[in-house]
Chains A and B, each alone.
Chain A
Amino acid sequence: MEIAFDQLLIQTINGIVTGMILALVASGLTLIFGIMDVVNFAHGELFMLGAYAGVVVLAATGDFWIALVAASLLIALLGAVIYLTTLRPLLGRDPLTTILATFGVSLVLQNYALWQFGPVARKIQEPFTGHFTLFYLDYPWYRLVIALLSAAIIGTLWLFLKISTFGVWIRATTQDRVMAQAMGIPVPWVLTVVFAIGAAMAGASGVLFGPLVGVNHAMGLDWILKAFIVVVIGGMGNLAGSIAASIFISLLEAYASLWVSPAQAIIVSFVVLILTLLFRPTGLFVPTPK
Chain B
Amino acid sequence: MSETSAQPLVRVENIHTYYGKSHILHGVSLEVGKAEVVGLLGRNGVGKSTTLKAIAGLVHPSQGEVLFEGRAITQLAAHRLARLGIGYVPEDRRIFRLLSVIENLRTGLDRHGVTKVRKKELLDKVYEYFPVLAERRNQAGGTLSGGEQQMLAIARSMMLEPKIILLDEPTEGLMPRMISQIREIIGVLEQEEVAVLLVEQNVPLTLEAARRIYILEKGMVRHHAPASELRADATAIHQYMGV
Direct A/B contact, Cβ within 8 angstroms: yes
Q: Name the contact of B79 in the complex, choosing from A168, A175, A176, A186 (C-beta under 8 A).
A: A186
Q: Are A183 and B156 in contact (CB under 8 A)?
A: yes
**What are the nearest 9 A-B pairs in CB distance?**
A184-B82, A181-B78, A165-B110, A183-B107, A182-B88, A181-B79, A184-B83, A179-B94, A175-B96
Subset of 8 A-B contacts with CB under 8 Å: A168-B106, A172-B103, A178-B94, A179-B95, A181-B58, A182-B79, A184-B107, A188-B77
Q: A165-B106, A168-B107, A179-B90 are in contact. Are A184 and B99 (CB under 8 A)?
A: no
Assembled-state Cα–Cα distance A176/B103 (Å): 14
In the complex, the chain A residue whose C-beta lies closest to that of B162 is A184
- Complex formed: what's the CA distance from A188 to B78 in Å? 11
| Cβ-based interface call for A209 (8 A) | no
Query: Interface residues, chain B, CB within 8 Å of chain A?
Result: 56-58, 77-79, 82-83, 88, 90, 94-99, 103, 106-108, 110-111, 156-157, 160
Bound-state Cα–Cα, A180 to B103, Å:
12
A171 at the interface (CB under 8 A from B): yes
A172 → B minimal CB distance (Å)? 5
Task: Contact check, B160 vs A178: say whether CB atoms are below 8 A apart.
Answer: no
Q: Which residues of A approach B to under 8 Å, CB–CB?
A: 165, 168-169, 171-172, 175-176, 178-188
Known: A172-B107, A184-B82, A185-B107. A179 touches B77 (CB 8 A): no
Q: How far is the CA of A172 from the CA of B111 in the complex (A)?
A: 15
The answer for the CA separation of A187 and B56 in the assembled complex, in Å, is 15
Chain A residues whose CB sits within 8 angstroms of the CB of B88 once the complex forms:
182
The interface residues of chain A, by DSSP majority, are classed as helix
Contact B98–A175 (Cβ < 8 Å): yes
**A172 proximity list for chain B (CB < 8 A):** 96, 99, 103, 107
Which of A179, A184, A186, A188 is the most central at the interface, judged by chain B CB atoms within 10 Å of its CB? A184
Residues of the B chain whose Cβ atoms lie less than 8 Å from the Cβ of A188: 77
Would you give the shortest CB distance from B120 to chain A, in whole angstroms?
15
Q: Chain B CB within 10 Å — which of A165, A176, A180, A182 has the most?
A: A182
Do residues B78 and A182 form an inter-chain contact, with CB atoms below 8 A? Answer: yes
- Nearest residue in A to B86 (C-beta to C-beta)? A182
With CB as the reference atom, state the residue of chain A lying closest to B85. A184
Point out the residues of chain A lying under 8 angstroms from B157, CB to CB. Answer: 183
Chain B residues contacting A185 (CB-CB under 8 Å) are 79, 107
Q: What is the bound-complex CA distance between A185 and B107, given in angstroms? A: 7
The reply to whether B99 and A175 contact each other, CB–CB distance below 8 Å, is yes
Contacts of B156 in A (CB 8 A): 183
Apart from A168-B99, A172-B99, A172-B103, 8 more pairs, CB < 8 Å: A171-B99, A175-B99, A178-B58, A180-B107, A182-B78, A183-B107, A183-B157, A186-B79
Q: Which residues from B are CB-within-8-Å of A187? A: 79
Alpha-carbon distance A186/B97, docked complex (angstroms): 20
**How close is B95's CB to chain A, nearest CB, in angstroms?**
8
Task: Report chain B residues within 8 Å CB of A169.
Answer: 107, 110
Taking a contact as CB atoms under 8 Å apart, the answer to whether B97 and A175 are in contact is yes
CA distance A181 to B80 in the complex (A): 8
B58 cross-chain contacts in A, Cβ below 8 A: 178, 181-182
CA distance A2 to B143 in the complex (A): 53
Most buried by B among A168, A169, A171, A183: A183
Distance in angstroms from B109 CB to nearest chain A CB is: 9
What residues on A are CB-neighbors of B77 within 8 Å?
Answer: 181, 188
User: What is the minimal beta-carbon distance from A259 to any residue of chain B, in angstroms?
Assistant: 42
Complex contacts, B79 vs chain A, CB 8 Å: 180-187
Complex CA distance for A179 and B58, rounded to whole angstroms: 9
**Complex-state Cα separation, A187 to B156, whole angstroms:** 17
A58–B231 CA distance with the chains assembled, in angstroms: 79
Task: Using CB atoms, name the residue of chain A closest to B108.
Answer: A183
Determine the residue in chain B with the shortest Cβ distance to A180: B107
Chain B residues lying within 8 Å of A171, measured Cβ to Cβ, are 96, 98-99, 103
Closest to A186 in B: B79
Q: Which residues of B contact A182 (CB under 8 A)?
A: 56, 58, 78-79, 82, 88, 90
B111: A residues at CB distance < 8 A = 184
Inter-chain CA distance A183–B106, complex, in Å, is 10
Shortest distance between the CB of A273 and any CB in chain B (Å): 27
Query: What's the Cα separation between A171 and B104 when bound, in Å?
Result: 10
Bound: A177/B195 CA distance, A? 26
Chain B min CB distance to A193 (Å): 14
In the complex the two chains form, is B96's CB within 8 Å of A176's CB?
yes
> What residues on B are CB-neighbors of A179 within 8 Å?
90, 94-96
The answer to whether B90 touches A168, judged by C-beta atoms less than 8 angstroms apart, is no
Q: What's the nearest-Cβ distance from chain B to residue A197, in Å?
A: 19
Contacts of B106 in A (CB 8 A): 165, 168
Q: How far is the CB of B124 from chain A (nearest CB, A)?
A: 20
- Tell me which residues across on chain A come within 8 A of B107, comparing CB atoms: 168-169, 172, 180, 183-185
In whole angstroms, how far apart are the Cα atoms of A255 and B160 in the complex?
Answer: 55
Please give, as numbers and ranges, the residues of chain A lying within 8 Å of B94 by CB-CB distance: 176, 178-179
